Amino acid sequence: MTYQPGRHFLQIPGPSNVPDRILRAMDRPTIDHRGPEFQAMAKRVLAGIKTIFQTTNPVIIYPASGTGAWEAALVNTLSPGDLVLMSETGQFASLWKKLAERVGLKTEFLPGDWRHGADPAAIGERLAADTDHRIKAVCVVHNETSTGCVSPVAEVRKAIDAARHPALFMVDTISSLGSLDYRHDTWGVDVTVGGSQKGLMLPPGLSFNAVSDKAIAASKSAGLARSYWAWDEMLEMNANGFFPFTPATNLLYGLEAAIEMLHEEGLDAVFARHRRHGAATRAAVEAWGLEVLCADPAQHSGVLTAVMMPGGKGADALRKTILSRFDMSLGAGLAKLADKVFRIGHLGDFNDLTLIGTLGGVEMGLQAAGVPHRKGGVDAAMAVLAAAASGSEARQAAE
Ligand SMILES: Cc1ncc(COP(=O)(O)O)c(C=O)c1O
């Protein structure tokens, strides 16, 4: 390996770049997780994380990647053979479905084209037809990281209510938490699944279940086997600032710093920043004459943009060129999108200049890899950023 000057651009849609402040926060001695210093820190973190999920109910923290929290959501609330309704929004919805089947659930997949989020009307229709309430849970991926489409969670809640269906509502926010507006309580979600390595700007290794009273009630009679993932012991110990097994202490230090940083910027400002970067990226894609994968403008993600390759050109060759020439990692197309799309992550610890550097790398990469495109993507993105900046200055002046 030869030394590569400058920072690597990690522009995959998670893990995202870990800011120095979080690295510094984690760079401390691991302490006794049964002692008073840990207890005080854990109480702060367990209270703070609720504000990020926008809930007043408990949030359970696992030392696990997001997949662990997917499993925890299901095994704590459901019984063997229960039917779960899921929407085929992309690869992550497909993986959650596979996991559900492996733990002993039955699934029904509302078909999708991997270019749209979950369809509230289709969910409502299916629930209305389920008059004997065989469906025990509805599961939706908020930000489908394989496609860059955002599912309308509040609308899905409305559809469940309109069908007067008692199913639990579970939402995966692994790639949206701390980046896109998300309201566990207001949107009536029973279990929200989150992860540390995206909007929370932490390394991989923590994942979350935010729970509702209804979900906790369901966990009392749920029949799927569980031990490590069980909520009961976790909730009991968490109430006093402790965990039933060794917690990921240093990641919790980092989480405390991440929560502080998100509030210092302000959650609304964080969400607006991600929306702005999504819009600027799409302007660049349009200027290049390329197509964004997500087909519904109302569902475009502020976290990532999946770009379709023109005329049979391979996305992986482009990513390889960009990595070797500019030391930037872009997200690969997953499963049936392999080699057909590349994904630009614009989430987490990310600002206007990081975006311009990222898009500059993509534009130079398109040229270097011989991908047919027009120039001017970076200019188009800068115009969107400039318009957003003058809009916010005008708003400040009016205040
Ligand atoms: C939306 C979504 N769900 C689930 C997962 C799986 O999480 P993990 O890889 O942390 O287990 C990911 C990972 O990228 C994701 O983006």
Q: How many CB atoms lie within 10 A of CB 249?
A: 19
The SS3 of residue 131 is coil
CA-proximal residue: ligand 1, atom 7 (nearest): 66
C-alpha dist (Å) from residue 79 to 94, 100, 212, 337, 376: 21, 11, 18, 34, 55
The three-class DSSP label of residue 187 is coil
Q: What is the CA(174)–ligand 1 centre distance, in A?
A: 6
Name the DSSP class of 41.
H
Quick: pLDDT tens for 96-109.
999 999 999 999 99
Closest ligand 1 atom to Cα of 144: 1
> For 251-283, how does the pLDDT look when each residue is reduced to its tens digit (9 = 90+)?
999 999 999 999 999 999 999 999 999 999 999
The confidence score (pLDDT) of residue 396 equals 78
Angstrom distance (rounded) from CA 243 to CA 289: 52
What's the pLDDT at 2?
A: 83
User: Does residue 215 have a pLDDT over 90?
Assistant: yes
The residue type at 343: R
- From 177-181, 241-245, 390-394, the region with the lowest mean pLDDT: 390-394
Neighbours of 237 (CB within 10 A): 15
User: Cα–Cα distance between 16 and 204 in angstroms, integer?
Assistant: 9
Q: Report CA 143 to chain centroid distance, whole Å.
A: 6
Residue 374 CA, ligand 1 centroid: distance in Å:
33
Q: Which of 10, 61, 62, 67 has the most ligand 1 atoms within 8 A of CB, as the residue to mutate?
A: 67
Instruction: Give me ligand 1 centre to Cα 334, in Å.
Output: 12
The minimum-distance atom of ligand 1 relative to the CA of 14 is 14
Nearest of 116, 34, 46, 11 to residue 342 by alpha carbon: 11
Beta strand 9-11 with 328-332: parallel, antiparallel or unpaired?
Answer: parallel
- Residue 316, C-beta contacts closer than 8 angstroms, at least 6 positions apart: 332, 333, 338, 339
Residue 291: name the closest of 304, 312, 305 by CA: 305
Q: What is the pLDDT of residue 76?
A: 99
As to burial, measured by CB atoms within 10 angstroms (0-12 exposed, 13-18 middle, 19+ buried), residue 398 is: exposed
Question: Helices 213-221 and 231-238, interaxial angle, to 10°?
Answer: 130
Q: Are 55 and 185 in contact (CB under 8 A)?
A: yes
201 pLDDT higher than 80: yes
C-alpha of residue 331 to centroid of ligand 1, in Å: 13
- Tell me what pLDDT residue 66 has: 98
Q: Token pair of 57, please?
A: 């109910």
Tell me phi and psi for residue 345, to 5 degrees: -85, 130
Pocket of ligand 1 (CB under 6 A): 14, 65-67, 92, 141, 145, 172, 174-175, 195, 204
Instruction: Kindly report whether the global pTM for this prediction surpasses the value 0.85.
Output: yes
Measured in Å, residue 333 CA sits from the centre of ligand 1 at 14
| Span between the terminal Cα atoms of the chain, in Å | 54
Average pLDDT of every residue of the chain: 97
Residue 5 has pLDDT above 90, yes or no: yes
- Please tell me the distance between residue 351's alpha carbon and the centre of ligand 1 in angstroms: 23
What atom of ligand 1 comes closest to residue 143's alpha carbon?
1
Per-residue pLDDT tens over the stretch 132-171: 999 999 999 999 999 999 999 999 999 999 999 999 999 9
**pLDDT score recorded for residue 100:** 99
Interval between CA 289 and ligand 1 midpoint (Å): 30
Going along the chain from its start, the domains and CATH numbers come out as 20-263 (3.40.640.10), 267-398 (3.90.1150.10)
Asked if 202 and 259 count as a contact pair (C-beta separation under 8 A), the reply is no
Is the confidence at residue 313, as pLDDT, over 90?
no
Helix (H, G, I), strand (E, B) or coil at 107: strand
Asked if the model's pLDDT at residue 399 lies above 80, the reply is no
CA of 173 to the centre of ligand 1 (A): 9
As a whole number of angstroms, the distance between CA 30 and CA 248 comes to 9
For residue 13, whether the previous peptide bond is cis, meaning omega lies within 30 degrees of 0, is no
Give 37 Cα–ligand 1 centroid separation in angstroms.
32
Instruction: Find where tokens 């004997």 sit.
Output: 132
DSSP letters of 190-210? SEEEEESSSTT-PPS--EEEE
Which of ligand 1's atoms lies nearest the C-alpha of 70? 4
Alpha-carbon gap, residue 143 to 394, rounded angstroms: 31
Question: Which atom of ligand 1 approaches the CA of 176 most closely?
Answer: 1
Confidence of residue 94 (pLDDT cuts 50, 70, 90): very high
Atom of ligand 1 nearest to the CA of 207: 10
What's the count of helices (H) and strands (E) in the chain, helices before strands? 13, 14
Categorize the per-residue pLDDT at 368 as very low, low, confident or very high, splitting at 50, 70 and 90.
Answer: very high
* DSSP assignment string, 326-382: H-EEEEEP-GGGTTTEEEEE--SS--HHHHHHHHHHHHHHHHHTT----S-HHHHHH
Beta bridge partners of 291: 308
Which of 98, 145, 150, 301 to probe ligand 1 with, by most ligand atoms within 8 A of CB? 145
